[in-house]
Structure 1
Amino acid sequence: MTASSTSALVRGPSTATERALAPDLARGFMLLLIALANTPWYLYGQASGMTSAHPIDGSVVDRIVQFVLITAVDARIYPLFAFLFGYGIVQLYRRQIEAGATEQAVRAILRRRHWWMIVFGAVHAALLWFGDIVGAYGLVGLIMVAIFLRRMDRTLIVWAAVLTGILTVITLLGLVALPFIPADPAFEQGGGFVDPAALSGEEDYLASVLLRLATWPLIAIGQGIIGLVVPTMILLAFWAARRQILEDPRAHARLLRRTAVIGVAVGVVGGLPNALTHVGVFELGPHQSWIFTLTQSVTGIFGGLGYVAVFTLLADRLQRAGAMSGPVVAIKAVGKRSLSNYLGQSVIFAPLLSAWGIGLGADLNSAGVAAIAVAGWTVLAAVTYLYERRGWRGPAEGLLRRLAYR
């Protein structure tokens, strides 16, 4: 088959009438939570914990903000994003196949899309944000599509269970070993794996670019592949998308309600040890508190699934009630343009908070940076609402689609 005949069988991206509300609504809310999760990494003017970017001190309000974010947001949002990313892969694949495209042509689209996501992520990391996840998901997407896209449902569930089981066993072994871990002063004084003071506190922009480029590949591979959470969520998303659970929530209401209750409960309970340790309720040395990042990670799988179910049920209720008001439309619009809004957050936060920019990260506390996160998301939502009213695509989505679909 020639290149021209292959491309002739490929249809364009989804139209507005083809999009389900639940994924876009979930992405829109998710971006607010991403802003809340990422902005603490810009605080470089005070000491942070070994296992997070949150400052170790602060007012009562600051401690409440830290507790809530660690419990309900940290390590819960990127699994949610991974699920929606995997779900979108199957939606794209099914839409193209139903339109008559060949398997080869659709896989070519997905490969181009994921390779370009890696490029987008590298540029994003170099210019603004070392913690970029776009490139990490592009990398995982290449692997998961090549190995699992056409596998049987049973294979997807078995592998998701295996990966979750590995994380669970590692977590349990860590918890058992926790009381016996000896103190290591050199480790406790060395800071965490990522030091906000070194990255966000760098005043020379070109030097900060080099620091981000040196850090991002490790985070992309570690969070995207080695951490196992993202591949697990994508496997579950492949299974769910084949059943169109987010498109038809009424037919799967019982599953969604159970997932919402169990997932959110496990996510919150799993985040409590880390949160209580950070605010000083549990007195542990930094070398021991690292163990609770494992509980944070494995329970993030359940928390992410729970949030997906909650947003899906909420979307169904809003649609049935006809409550598609301005705020709901704005959040949906943000979700439809999630890549542009995600990159837009860095355009706002990095120059505002980093030392090479205005440098507010040296003076803000947890509550202050959370307020900036909410304000930044709100500004982007207002701009995106105007894009929706005018029928414009997000600039990043438009570019990626042109590159992927040629």
Structure 2
Amino acid sequence: MRAKPARREAAIDALRALALLPVVVVNFTSYVNLPMGGPHLRPDGTVLGDLASGAVAAFLQGKGYPLLMFLFGYSLSLALRHRSPAQARRRLYGLLALGLGHGFLLYMGDILSAYALIGLVVLRWAPRRLRSVVRATQVAGGVALLLAGLMLAVFPSIPVAPSSLSLADHPSLGEWWQANAFDYLSSLLLGTLFLGPEVFALMGLGVLAQRLGWLRHRRWSAARQRCARWAGPLVLLNLGVGVAAVTALQADAGRADAWLVPLSTVLGPLSLLSWVSWFVQRWPHRGAPQALVDAGRQTLTPYLLSSAVAVGVWTQLGLGWRFGNAESVLFSTLLWAALMTLSRWATLRQRRLPAEAWLVRR
């Protein structure tokens, strides 16, 4: 007997579309700095460039991937209500295959493979008793905070190594591919080691949110409202981080990365909890932005396409363009809007985009 498809939740789909915005912008704007330059814009000597750098550091850096992790766990738990663990496992293996291909062949900063690997672990915990899921999430969160504190304490004291050749500057396909594949494998191993607990904790929060009905049940309305009250103060705190980031990057770009990355490990999830609560609290009262809902139902192909565009725009194998910071942020924001328009077009015509069509057959 064929399993029924998982019921769609409009707020989750809209949040998925919004989560792709920081992913597309940060991945695109930071590509020219890869592999050693970090995920941050470098000062370009213009006022608009500094404003763009500050906006990215404040409101986009470290915000997209925690939200996607949370939504991944939420959707995984929801899917288990409509399909067997074996079916869910096959989908995760399919996602892992896509991620490995994406990482080795196109973009060293792939997130799909790490999500799939940690998702396979979460899949073993998601159906268990609620108390076990809570305990595992708490332990993973505690380990993630310890690792973030360790990075914050140790990394700023490490001398900054000379920059290696950027992936965007490799002159031949063979050199670019070897560098990309090596850097992807290194980032996958180190990223899974250092970010694995955070990924597990945020996916676990997503599982708990779905099982408890945190985003939709009226009994949590007061608790969500208390979380939502922190949305404004966290906006101001992130704004302060953006100003500090621009100042630090202008003074010493390499050392700025050393504290921005672990700080985003803590600040990103905190902002996530508050901003998602704020978003959900106002959702029923102001009406659903249906365009975002439609666009968020297919985000896998847009994510892969955004990497292809970054490689085609920045590298010597493609156009080899070089933007200022403001132009780069504007271009990548328009790219996100175009990709979401493509996703909405396919959804409205009841067509699956290529990656989604391939994955659903697993």
Q: Output the amino acid matched with 1:29.
A: L
Does 2:95 match 1:117? yes
Q: Which one of the candidate residues 7, 16, 29 is aligned to 1:40? A: 29
Q: Output the amino acid matched with 1:357.
A: G
CA 1:50–1:215 in structure 2 vs 1: closer, same or farther (change >3 Å)? closer
Q: Which one of the candidate residues 285, 293, 304 is aligned to 2:261? A: 293
Query: TM-score if structure 1 supplies the norm length?
Result: 0.79
Mapped partners of 1:294, 1:271: distance in 2? 17
Range with bigger deviation, 250-259 or 136-145 = 250-259
Aligned to 1:11: 3
Instruction: Report the CA distance between 1:401 and its aligned residue.
Output: 0.8
Instruction: Report the CA distance between 1:249 and its aligned residue.
Output: 5.2
Q: Which one of the candidate residues 18, 31, 40 is aligned to 2:20? A: 31
Aligned to 1:311: 279
CA 1:158–1:288 in structure 2 vs 1: closer, same or farther (change >3 Å)? same
SS at match of 1:156: helix
Does 2:301 match 1:333? no
SS at match of 2:318: coil
Does 2:105 match 1:127? yes
SS at match of 2:230: helix
Instruction: Report the CA distance between 1:48 and its aligned residue.
Output: 11
Contact 1:118 1:135 (C-alpha < 8 Å) held by counterparts: yes
Does 2:209 match 1:244? no
Does 2:115 match 1:137? yes
Q: What per-residue deviation string (whole Å, max 9, x for no partner) do you get for residues 196-250 of structure 1?
A: x52222232232222222122332344345222211101111111102333x254
Contact 1:125 1:213 (C-alpha < 8 Å) held by counterparts: yes
Instruction: Report the CA distance between 1:380 and its aligned residue.
Output: 1.8
Mapped partners of 2:242, 2:4: distance in 1? 45
Range with bigger deviation, 338-347 or 116-125 = 338-347
Mapped partners of 1:211, 1:391: distance in 2? 39
Q: Which one of the candidate residues 349, 352, 357 is aligned to 2:318? A: 357
Mapped partners of 1:116, 1:243: distance in 2? 28
Mapped partners of 1:296, 1:125: distance in 2? 23
Structure number, greater radius of gyration: 1
Q: What per-residue deviation string (whole Å, max 9, x for no partner) do you get for residues 301-352 of structure 1?
A: 2122233323333433343xxxx5xxx3332222100112211222333212
Aligned to 1:3: none
SS at match of 2:296: helix
Mapped partners of 2:190, 2:18: distance in 1? 25
Q: Please list every run of 5 or more consecutive structure 1 residues that lacks an aligned counterpart in the other structure.
A: 1-7, 97-105
Aligned runs of 1:88-167 on 2, under 5 Å? Answer: 88-96=75-83, 106-146=84-124, 148-167=125-144
CA 1:111–1:288 in structure 2 vs 1: closer, same or farther (change >3 Å)? same
Contact 1:43 1:53 (C-alpha < 8 Å) held by counterparts: no
Does 2:162 match 1:190? yes
SS at match of 1:279: helix
Q: What per-residue deviation string (whole Å, max 9, x for no partner) do you get for residues 24-78 of structure 1?
A: 000111112211111122235xx99955331133311111111121122111210
Q: Output the amino acid matched with 1:237.
A: G
Does 2:65 match 1:78? yes
Aligned to 1:102: none
Contact 1:87 1:240 (C-alpha < 8 Å) held by counterparts: yes
Aligned runs of 1:263-282 on 2, under 5 Å? Answer: 265-266=233-234, 269=237, 272-273=240-241, 276-280=244-248
Mapped partners of 2:280, 2:63: distance in 1? 16
Aligned runs of 1:160-179 on 2, under 5 Å? Answer: 160-172=137-149
Mapped partners of 1:40, 1:57: distance in 2? 13
Instruction: Report the CA distance between 1:372 and its aligned residue.
Output: 0.9
Contact 1:71 1:270 (C-alpha < 8 Å) held by counterparts: yes
Does 2:328 match 1:369? yes
Mapped partners of 2:249, 2:91: distance in 1? 46
SS at match of 1:43: helix
Instruction: Report the CA distance between 1:279 and its aligned residue.
Output: 2.5
Mapped partners of 2:333, 2:76: distance in 1? 29
Range with bigger deviation, 24-33 or 80-89 = 24-33
Mapped partners of 1:161, 1:266: distance in 2? 23
Q: Which one of the candidate residues 177, 192, 201 is aligned to 1:232? A: 201
Identical-pair percentage: 21
CA 1:107–1:352 in structure 2 vs 1: closer, same or farther (change >3 Å)? same
Contact 2:298 2:347 (C-alpha < 8 Å) held by counterparts: no
Contact 2:40 2:257 (C-alpha < 8 Å) held by counterparts: no
Instruction: Report the CA distance between 1:371 and its aligned residue.
Output: 1.0
Does 2:359 match 1:382? no
Query: TM-score if structure 2 supplies the norm length?
Result: 0.88
Contact 1:28 1:331 (C-alpha < 8 Å) held by counterparts: yes
Instruction: Report the CA distance between 1:251 and its aligned residue.
Output: 4.3
C-alpha root-mean-square deviation of aligned residues, in Å? 3.0
Q: What per-residue deviation string (whole Å, max 9, x for no partner) do you get for residues 77-129 of structure 1?
A: 10100000000111100123xxxxxxxxx111121111111110111123322
Q: Please list every run of 5 or more consecutive structure 2 residues that lacks an aligned counterpart in the other structure.
A: none
Contact 1:131 1:216 (C-alpha < 8 Å) held by counterparts: yes
